[in-house]
Amino acid sequence: MKIRFLFLHLKKIIKETKRSMSSEPLFTEIHSLCQQQPTIKCQNRKFLAGSTSKDFPETLPKFVHHDFKAIKITHKHRCQDIKRLGVAMRPALDSMFKAKKSAVLIKGLPISVGKDFHDFVEGCAYKAMTYESGSGFRAAVDDLVYTASDEPPPFSIEPHNEMSYLSKFPQKIIFCCLSTADKGGESPIVFNRDLIKKIKPEVLNKFRAKGIRYSRNLKHRKNTDYISWQSTFYTEEEKEAEKKMSKEGFQWEWKANGDVTIWYQQPAFYELANSGEEVWFNQMTANHCSYYKSHPMFADRAEDLPAHEYPYHCCYGDGEEIENDVMDHIRSVAWKNAMSLTLLPGDVLILDNLLCQHSRIGYEGGDRRILVFLGEHTNR
Ligand SMILES: [Fe+2]
């Protein structure tokens, strides 16, 4: 009798829990994010390209952009299996991006280790892509997830759209914070629609007419601890690397020491498939030699190297160097329109990579760990 009573009581509790879970919304919107952002010094910041130019913003703006949305998973849903939460979130995310949001921050997910993030993106079921041919310094964590960046901590990474310098790139990029730095390490975002309105029309027109010529100076693995052609093309074989370079439309020249020089052209803009809208979509700042002149590996040299000796460089499509004032102008416009954003442990940030750029402020101390997933690839 007593056992039967306990069984019925337990059944009632399970039923009530299920009812309250289904009646509780999956998430609520957060409106107070901008008060939580610290003041981030930009002007004359060491290891930040262009920060000494006269138009560079003194500090990063604090505002919440209308194309950004922050949400928090409600308490009762946090105990759900993380993969199931990904499955449950996907339709809501699709609706948000359809309703013209370009960046969605999710707080309150039960994520504490890389495997949790892996399971969440697996649940979301965005089609994964690899980072093959990418120019960043990062490592694979598992079959879906990479480190966001392994660049030296004090280096500030300029706003950019992921892989926008290639013919194949992700439409969605998802970041997850596992741990923060003691100081700095914020993740500001910039909306491409703002850039095309704020960059001078004559500058846009010149890039429209000429496009961009990217070049790379990729070292053999034996010659560097940094990015090598082997880590870029996921192969140890020159012939295999050549196949991949050829597929990308690259031209190349091997050097006697095993390094390789690569060059190719890409447009500076991308036309959105559904609307035909033109978007500023390139990596003319973070792939320019001046970016590397501000990099801890090169910044303290007594003399600058020739442009082609840095890991990457770019110029106009006809070979003309991009003017210094144009580089300064585009950098200051980007940082003046950057929305300050601090990711905390467990936070997941999903960006429409065609419409929203991401960046990183240099940092000190702590064990900052941010992971990334690249998804839904498309081609030019
Ligand atoms: Fe990136």
* Per-residue model confidence as pLDDT tens digits over 50-68: 999 999 999 999 999 999 9
Residue 262 tokens read as 């690569």
Centroid of ligand 1 to alpha carbon of 10 (angstroms): 50
d(C-alpha 84, C-alpha 241), whole Å: 39
Centroid of ligand 1 to alpha carbon of 136 (angstroms): 7
For residues 153 and 171, state if they share a domain.
Answer: yes
Q: Is residue 68 part of a domain?
A: yes
CATH number (domain holding residue 352) = 3.60.130.10
Q: What share of the chain is helix, strand, coil (3-state, %, to 5)?
A: 30, 25, 45
For residues 146 and 275, state if they share a domain.
Answer: no
For residues 186 and 256, state if they share a domain.
Answer: no
For residues 232 and 319, state if they share a domain.
Answer: yes
Indicate whether 1 pLDDT > 70. Answer: no
Could you give the angle at which helices 324-336 and 201-210 cross, rounded to 10 degrees? 120
Centroid of ligand 1 to alpha carbon of 163 (angstroms): 8
What is the rounded average pLDDT of the residues 144-155?
97
How does strand 260-266 pair with strand 269-271? unpaired
Beta bridge partners of 68: 103
Centroid of ligand 1 to alpha carbon of 222 (angstroms): 26
Say what the pTM is. Answer: 0.92
> Which of 294, 312, 331 marks a domain boundary?
331
Centroid of ligand 1 to alpha carbon of 313 (angstroms): 17
Residue 133 tokens read as 């041919």
What is the rounded average pLDDT of the residues 170-176?
98
- How many domains are there within the chain? 2
For residues 79 and 139, state if they share a domain.
Answer: yes
Cβ-contact 123, 348 below 8 angstroms: no
Q: Which of 205, 249, 149 is nearest to 141 (CA)?
A: 149
For residues 60 and 123, state if they share a domain.
Answer: yes
Centroid of ligand 1 to alpha carbon of 85 (angstroms): 26
For residues 190 and 208, state if they share a domain.
Answer: no
d(C-alpha 209, C-alpha 137), whole Å: 31
What is the DSSP annotation of 233-301? HT-S-HHHHHHHHHHHT-EEEE-TTS-EEEEEEE-SEEE-TTT--EEE---TTTTSHHHHHTSTTTTT-
Beta bridge partners of 220: none
- What pLDDT, on the 0 to 100 scale, is given for residue 8? 62
Centroid of ligand 1 to alpha carbon of 291 (angstroms): 14
Indicate whether 245 pLDDT > 70. Answer: yes
For residues 177 and 274, state if they share a domain.
Answer: no
Indicate whether 26 pLDDT > 60. Answer: yes
Kindly tell me the burial class for residue 222, based on how many C-beta atoms sit within 10 Å of its own C-beta (0-12, 13-18, 19 or more).
exposed
- What pLDDT, on the 0 to 100 scale, is given for residue 305? 93
Phi/psi at 89 (5° precision): -75, -30
- What pLDDT, on the 0 to 100 scale, is given for residue 17? 46
Kindly tell me the burial class for residue 227, based on how many C-beta atoms sit within 10 Å of its own C-beta (0-12, 13-18, 19 or more).
buried
Domain that holds residue 303: 201-331
Centroid of ligand 1 to alpha carbon of 330 (angstroms): 18
Centroid of ligand 1 to alpha carbon of 29 (angstroms): 26
Q: Which of 142, 136, 190, 140 is nearest to 162 (CA)?
A: 136
Phi/psi at 65 (5° precision): -70, 145
Which residues, 6 or more positions from 201, have their beta carbon under 8 angstroms from its beta carbon?
none
Indicate whether 369 pLDDT > 70. Answer: yes
Q: Is residue 40 part of a domain?
A: yes
For residues 97 and 132, state if they share a domain.
Answer: yes
Task: Give the number of other Cβ atoms within 10 Å of residue 99's Cβ.
Answer: 9
For residues 248 and 291, state if they share a domain.
Answer: yes
The 3-state DSSP class for residue 339 equals: strand
Cβ-contact 112, 344 below 8 angstroms: no
Q: How confident is the model at residue 133 (pLDDT cuts 50, 70, 90)?
A: very high
201-235 tens-digit pLDDT: 999 999 999 999 999 999 999 999 999 999 999 99
d(C-alpha 39, C-alpha 370), whole Å: 21
32-43 tens-digit pLDDT: 876 678 999 999
77-99 tens-digit pLDDT: 888 899 999 999 999 999 999 99
Indicate whether 23 pLDDT > 80. Answer: no
Centroid of ligand 1 to alpha carbon of 292 (angstroms): 15
Cβ-contact 268, 282 below 8 angstroms: yes
Torsion of CA 235, 128, 136, 181, to 10 degrees: -130
Q: Is residue 18 part of a domain?
A: no
Beta bridge partners of 177: 370
> Which of 315, 331, 347 marks a domain boundary?
331
Task: Give the number of other Cβ atoms within 10 Å of residue 298's Cβ.
Answer: 16
Q: Which of 194, 215, 201, 216 is nearest to 316 (CA)?
A: 215
How does strand 68-73 pair with strand 103-107? parallel
Q: Residues for the chain: how many in total?
A: 380
Task: Give the number of other Cβ atoms within 10 Å of residue 18's Cβ.
Answer: 10
Average pLDDT, the chain: 93
Centroid of ligand 1 to alpha carbon of 287 (angstroms): 12
Indicate whether 20 pLDDT > 80. Answer: no
